[in-house]
Amino acid sequence: MNSDWNYPTTMWVGKDRVKDLSIACKTLNINKPLLVTDSGLAKSKIVINVLNNLKENGILVELYSNVVGNPTGTNVNEGADYYKKNNCDGVIAFGGGSGLDVGKAIAFMSGQTQSIWDFEDVGDNWTKANSDKIAPIIAVPTTAGTGSETGRASVILNEETGVKNIIFHPKFLPSIVILDPVLTVGLPAKITAATGMDALAHNLEAYCAPGYHPMADGIALEGMRLINDWLLEAVNNGSNIEARQNMLTAASMGSTAFQKGLGAIHSLSHPVNALNNIHHGLSNAIFMPYVLTFNKDVIEKKIIKICDYLELKDRSFDGFVNWVLDLRKKLDMPHKLSEVIDEKDFDIDRLSKMALADPSTGGNPKKLTEDDMKIMYQHSMTGELFK
């Protein structure tokens, strides 16, 4: 199953391909990369082996690992200073969503003079950047979910405002991605399940988002098929390399497809991730059937096409919703938001405001109001799907 792809970027795929990291550096003329990862992974055998392998191959790698779960502007600025101080000439973004997002943002900020917040993904802010000064990026994901390795943005928390901002530039897209399933073998079943549901939400919301983008639609459909075929196996038998590889691929496909847009699953998720500290993939899994049934009248035909492509037994809208419910149950995930958030910690007014303002809202198949967000939150608390 080892192969090289050049779409959406150069991707080296297969078992043990992480050993080609030094070749990737040489291909991009990187002699002194900064490897960016989170503090937990930095101590792991995986990263220690990667650093040793690079050094053995003559690559003078530096390490920056002061990266937290919800990466902050401080993490990025500190990393960019470290990059400059050590005269690095490229970034290896290594890890789950946090490591990848910070790595990409450090490569970007290493050559900019303005504040990172000047490049928030609003209007054409990205054109203000000095694009000649963006360092080359190699991305190596160690989870199969966010798909940040094929994305052109990073999500960074502004500690002063408490808001997660999307920082966008086309050159955030890594020049080389290495998808090595061996790196994900040690992921616990719960994380495999939650990140897998994030990948499903990306493909599903991209497919349902309005707009003409047949390429994204095709990728999203096949991404969902891979998840249908392999997610349960990856969760139940974590050392199955074929399952792990297909999930990594499905995650990369999800973020490739969601250039088209996301939707209310993500709009509802981001606020509870930020305020209630709920895992992003888990909240996506919870909200999925409520958002599907809320959007039913405008997405029914599309959902039936997904049923056909996935060869589901019941190829109807309800059949698809039942497939989601059944998958969640098999993954041992809760049906109701109230199973993970206490009523007293549930500030529905604030959450609904944040959900409406979320950048994903524009991609929802139905135009949404703050009341719609409130109603969807209420249903997800009580467990009642929309009729």
Residue (112 or 361) nearer to Fe ion, CB: 361
Cα 383 to the chain's mean position, in Å?
26
C-alpha–C-alpha distance, residues 2 and 376, integer Å: 43
How big is the site for Fe ion, counted in residues (CB under 5 A)?
Answer: 1
CB of 370 closer than 8 Å to CB of 352: yes
Which residue among 198, 205, 217, 372 contacts Fe ion (CB under 5 A)?
Answer: 198
Binding span for Fe ion by CB under 5 A among 53-61, 190-198, 363-371, 379-387: 190-198
> Tokens for 266?
């993500």
Distance CA 387, CA 383 (A): 12
Smallest distance from Fe ion to CB 261, Å: 13
CA neighbor of 9 nearest in space, from 76, 89, 93: 93
Residue range at the interface with Fe ion (CB under 5 A); choices 60-68, 195-203, 240-248, 328-336: 195-203
User: CB-wise, 101 or 198, nearer to Fe ion?
Assistant: 198
Half-sphere CA count of 107, side-chain side, radius 13 A: 37
Least distance from Fe ion to the Cβ atom of residue 80, Å:
25
Q: Which amino acid is at 218?
A: G
Judged by CB under 5 A, the stretch of 82-90, 123-131, 133-141, 196-204 that binds Fe ion is 196-204
Smallest separation (angstroms) from Fe ion to the CB of 164? 12
The mark string for 330-359 relative to Fe ion (x by CB under 5 A, - otherwise) is ------------------------------
Q: Taking CB positions, which residue lies at the least distance from Fe ion?
A: 198
d(CA 18, CA 180): 6
Nearer to Fe ion, 202 or 379 (CB): 202
- Specify the residue, 20 or 358, whose C-beta has the smaller distance to Fe ion: 358
Q: What share of the chain is helix, strand, coil (3-state, %, to 5)?
A: 60, 10, 30
360 phi and psi angles, rounded to 5 deg:
-70, -20
Q: Is 101 in the site for Fe ion (CB under 5 A)?
A: no
What single-letter DSSP state applies at residue 48? H
Query: Among residues 166 and 325, whose Cβ is nearest to Fe ion?
Result: 166
Residues that bind Fe ion (CB under 5 A): 198
